[in-house]
Chains A and B, each alone.
Chain A
Amino acid sequence: MSTPEARTSSTSGSVARGARLSVLKTYKLYVGGKFPRSESGRVYEVTDAKGQWLANAPLASRKDARDAVVAARKAFGGWSGATAYNRGQILYRIAEMLEGRREQFAAEVAAAEGLSKAKAQAQTDAAIDRWVWYAGWSDKVAQVVGGGNPVAGPFFNLSTPEPTGVVAVLAPQSASLLGLVSVLAPVIVTGNTAVVVASRTAPLPALSLAEVLATSDLPGGVVNVLSGDTVEIARPLAAHQDVNAIDLAGADAESAAELEGAAAENLKRVLRPGGDDWSAEPGLGRMTAFLETKTVWHPIGA
């Protein structure tokens, strides 16, 4: 497990007597359940809050975005067709796996965001708890936002929420782990699949989270994680005809407007950025933003 300190010492060139040289991790994208490098071969330098080198992260390209959409679409049928109970179990499993790597993520968050150890720990704990919170929603949200409608006639009439499809998620630029989990969990708990663009400046917790997802029984392709220039990756996603929705949480006002305009081409559902307090209880809004309401009618007669 690499810590910022270890990294700093390992890159400074001055090896202390008796100290062990740590093994560095090559950070990769997460697409279709696999960990590829960017097809472009590009990387960019990720530093900590003080500007010290942390890692080279993949600089994903539009082709990586395209591949991620293909993977997400492929995974949609199975994931949306899984039982709500099953999805809840898997989200809870993610929390369990994250709990087991709590120290690692606290350290990554501290490095990425320049937080104190205690604050980074609190952010990590809140992120784990958020998975647990959303895990419980999997088999309840339909009861809260759906239901029978008392139509004036001999008809059974039931409205149920269904996942919108493939959702592009621009993770918040700050709150590299808690913010990410707060936008990702509500998308997938209801059966959507996601292409997530990690925080540009702090992508490492997101890329590490992919390792957790890969070991949590989450089918490959349900979540795909890209790192790089948010707007560069977001443009092809916003324009992609096989993406059904986009969460602009990580976009600044100017690019959000541009991306929303591009998203209009196939009438993506758009969740605009702003006003998110990741420490507050989330409410239903981020789930319902990516749910469709389907209403089924049937005559009642013998």
Chain B
Amino acid sequence: MPTDAAPRDAGRGSLSDVVTSDAALRRFLQGLPGVDAVGLEARAAALGTRSIKTTAKAYALDLAISMIDLTTLEGADTPGKVRSLCAKGANPDPGDRSTPRVAAICVYPDMAAVAKQALTEQGAGEVHVASVATAFPSGRASMSVKLADTREAVAAGADEIDMVIDRGAFLAGRYLQVFEEIQQVKAACGAAHLKVIFENGELATYDNIRRASWLAMLAGADFIKTSTGKVAVNATPPNTLLMLEAVRDFRAATGRQVGVKPAGGIRTAKDAVKYLVMVNETLGDDWLSPDWFRFGASSLLNDLLMQRQKLSTGRYSGPDYVTVD
């Protein structure tokens, strides 16, 4: 991912005042425009009815593949499993070398080194290693543990860190605490890019998701991410649409562009295309690249590959024609 392309523009009105105190930050976040849930969901559903065919579909499928953070975050993960996933990410369709590589392989910190090495061996150095950190997925650990977790992941070769926020602190209204945690993790990331996970399902309301988006962006997030994939409600079209609106408004206010990563629950090519339509119509070309939009997913990739095969051969494909990893 590139570093901030657009410099902060002081002329756009500084937002530095709003993080000077807990009270100021609370006033700012609670003063953001409200979200009407029904209207938001209706808009997301309407965008979901776009009909993407032929050339547009081919473009969208390849773009979606290139945006995947191919993920394994299981207690049962082993180096073998991670290496196999890296192979898949580097060459998603062994039968068709024109298939793009995924954006990153997303693993727990203790697997970051394995992933980095596997990707290098595959000659797929441009595929990033993303590591979750900060006591993923609950975030319930002391700050020193979270920072150590982050530093170790970076040291092991992670290009990107996916941190979780302290939802307890957020829901209790201790916004400044969450802000400072993100800032500290960002500092610990060094050159690695920081994705901030909200766990939208636990924030529960759209108003909270909008506030969390601004909070994370103010604190320096490079990406904002919907969810861990570990709770009942993960990425949904409306909560992702809301975050897209937030990054759009944040760039308009500050000049700084932030990426968005929906994660969890996106399993079909059809779903992925719907998300891309949302990006296209909410943010436009500027965000239509793996630098600015990612899918956190595992099984999605195979469905994209099957659809890609269908498009090139005209026949429906089946699970026997894509690899199981």
Contact = CB atoms under 8 A, between A and B. Distances in A.
A300 interface: yes
Contacts of B39: 299
Contacts of A301: 36-38, 41
A301 B42 CA distance: 12
Contacts of A100: none
Interface in B27-49: 36-39, 41
A302 interface: yes
Q: Is the interface of B mostly helix, strand, loop or mixed?
A: helix
Contacts of A302: 37, 205
B205 A154 contact: no
Contacts of B36: 299, 301
A299 B38 contact: yes
Contacts of A155: 38
Nearest to B41: A301
Nearest to A300: B38
Contacts of B38: 154-155, 299-301
Nearest to B39: A299
Nearest to A155: B38
Interface string A287-302: 0000000000001111
A296 to B, nearest CB: 15
Chain A contact residues (Cβ within 8 angstroms of B): what range? Answer: under 10
Interface residues of B, number: 6
Contacts, number: 13
A56 B265 CA distance: 87
Contacts of A299: 36-39
Contacts of A154: 38
Interface in B169-210: 205
Interface string A154-189: 110000000000000000000000000000000000
Nearest to B38: A299
Contacts of B41: 301
Nearest to A298: B38
A298 to B, nearest CB: 9
A300 B39 CA distance: 10
A268 B77 CA distance: 77
A172 to B, nearest CB: 51
A101 B215 CA distance: 74
Interface in B20-74: 36-39, 41
A301 B39 CA distance: 9
A299 B39 CA distance: 8
A244 to B, nearest CB: 34
Contacts of B205: 302
A300 B42 CA distance: 12
Nearest to A154: B38
A301 B35 CA distance: 10
A301 B204 CA distance: 12
A155 B37 CA distance: 11
B39 to A, nearest CB: 6
Interface in A244-270: none
B30 to A, nearest CB: 16
Nearest to B207: A302
Contacts of A300: 38
A158 B39 CA distance: 19
Nearest to B204: A302
A116 to B, nearest CB: 67
A243 B141 CA distance: 72
A191 to B, nearest CB: 32
B237 to A, nearest CB: 15
Interface centre among A154, A155, A299, A300 (most CB of B within 10 A): A299
Interface of A: 154-155, 299-302
Given A299-B36, A301-B38, 11 more contacts: A154-B38, A155-B38, A299-B37, A299-B38, A299-B39, A300-B38, A301-B36, A301-B37, A301-B41, A302-B37, A302-B205
Q: A-B pairs with the 3 shortest C-beta distances?
A: A301-B37, A299-B38, A301-B38
13 contacts: A154-B38, A155-B38, A299-B36, A299-B37, A299-B38, A299-B39, A300-B38, A301-B36, A301-B37, A301-B38, A301-B41, A302-B37, A302-B205
